[in-house]
Amino acid sequence: MGLYVLAAAKGSPGVTTSSVLLASIWPGEPILADLDPAGGDVALRYRDTSGVPLDPDRGLLSLGAAVRRGVAEVQLSDHVQRIAGGLEVLTGVNSPDQVQGLGPTWQHLARSLRSVPGRDVIADCGRLTPGAATIPVLQSADAVLMLARPTLEGLSHLRELIRGLAELLRLGGYDAVPVGVALIASYRDARTPGEVQSILDQAGLRASVLGILADDAKAATAIRTGDARRVRNSLLTRSAAEIRDRLLAVRRELPGAAATARYESGKERAL
């Protein structure tokens, strides 16, 4: 079904925490894929349904090995593990060297992630650079969600990353991969999405600000420690549900600046 990528330009805006949260409230039974080029956190943070550590030999590396061996039908389900709470995850690598070691298999991995029968995949790609090994995953995505804090440096890095990815993601073309932005900020800061959208528009960048992910430290800590049940009614979860709905609405539609205008006017969907 669908492939949705979360990533950031620089800093620590909480890509993994946001990915876990979105996957936990996603419709159906999504799979969370930990593809952070710097090394994955999911296997370090979470335990399986029995409370024991996840198997380090089962995940992205075992999937990549199956692809390299030319297994006739590589099944993503053979490489995922279920963590406490019920979410199925594809654990990541331990070091950047392992990411680079996957080499040309990334093209095949991207296709595998996008073609899971009846299930969406939420891919945590961590911090991105234009030359990242995970670029084929972004190019295959139904939508990419960039996370950023609305600070001067945060927005500057965001703008330059989107500019660097514009050609690779065919931004502005009929077959562009839609790029959305979620801002980690106070949920009361209603003016911020429109101001950031103006910055992107002035730079000529085809990306839409989808809204705010509430900067809620207590809820984020609960998610990182595997106690997501405590945050079901939190402001962070409610704001993530709004971002989820807008991201799902994108699905290969070209985003535009009008998205933020609809967001601010209080209509149901930003896109």
Kindly list the distances between the CA atom of residue 154 and the CA atoms of 6, 149, 157, 159, 183, in Å, as whole numbers in the listed order.
Answer: 16, 5, 5, 9, 10
pLDDT reported for residue 258: 36
Phi, psi at 266, each rounded to 5°: 85, 15
pLDDT reported for residue 264: 43
Comparing 92-101, 147-156, 213-222, 234-243, the range with the smallest average pLDDT is 92-101
Comparing 19-28, 120-129, 189-198, the range with the smallest average pLDDT is 189-198
What is the spatial distance between Cα 162 and Cα 146, in angstroms, rounded to a whole number?
A: 9
Give the range with max mean pLDDT: 116-120, 127-131, 190-194: 116-120
134 — pLDDT class (breaks 50, 70, 90)? very high
* pTM beyond 0.85: yes
Residue 167 CB burial class (10 angstroms; 0-12, 13-18, ≥19) = exposed
Q: 192-234 pLDDT, tens per residue? A: 899 999 999 999 999 999 999 999 999 999 998 887 667 888 9
Comparing 151-155, 179-183, 250-254, the range with the smallest average pLDDT is 250-254
Q: 21-58 pLDDT, tens per residue? A: 999 999 999 999 999 988 899 999 999 999 999 998 89
pLDDT reported for residue 271: 37
